[in-house]
């Protein structure tokens, strides 16, 4: 059996506020074996949609970056689309949830969940 090596990193930035929210969610789950996975997949009204979820797996080619104990994982196909993106967490009367500010998005839809 061959071992999987995760040596590559990525340019996705996780703000301190978002990292704190991730830690809170992981504490609520009682899990310390989960990572925040960020990916793009075909779909949505603009062509690509963001995927943001907890994952216990590390796959071949995954790029990993640690933010003070919170690991952010990006699959190798998504790295170019997400390079330089910032993940933040908004908690206002108008909006609550994780946001992704992606400088690579040429256009995005009104809902903010899809881009091209």
44: confidence class by pLDDT, cuts 50, 70, 90: low
Of the ranges 28-32, 100-104, 111-115, which one carries the lowest mean pLDDT score?
111-115
**CA 91, CA 52: separation in Å to the nearest integer?**
17
Q: What is the rounded average pLDDT for all residues in the chain?
A: 85
* pLDDT over threshold 80, residue 109: no
Q: Say which residue, 7 or 50, is predicted with more confidence.
A: 50
Average pLDDT of span 87-107: 86
CB contact set of 1 (below 8 Å; sequence gap of 6+):
none
């Amino acid at each position: 059996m061959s071992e999987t090596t995760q040596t590559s990193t990525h340019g996705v930035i996780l703000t301190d506020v978002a990292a704190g929210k991730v830690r809170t969610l992981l504490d609520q789950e009682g899990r310390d074996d989960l990572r925040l996975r960020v990916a793009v997949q075909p779909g949505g009204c603009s062509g690509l949609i963001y995927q943001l979820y907890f994952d216990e797996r590390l796959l071949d080619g995954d790029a990993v970056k640690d933010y003070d104990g919170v690991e952010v994982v990006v699959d190798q196909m998504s790295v170019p689309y997400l390079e330089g993106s910032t993940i933040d967490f908004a908690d206002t009367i108008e909006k609550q949830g994780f946001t992704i500010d992606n400088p690579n998005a040429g256009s995005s839809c009104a809902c903010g969940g899809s881009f091209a």
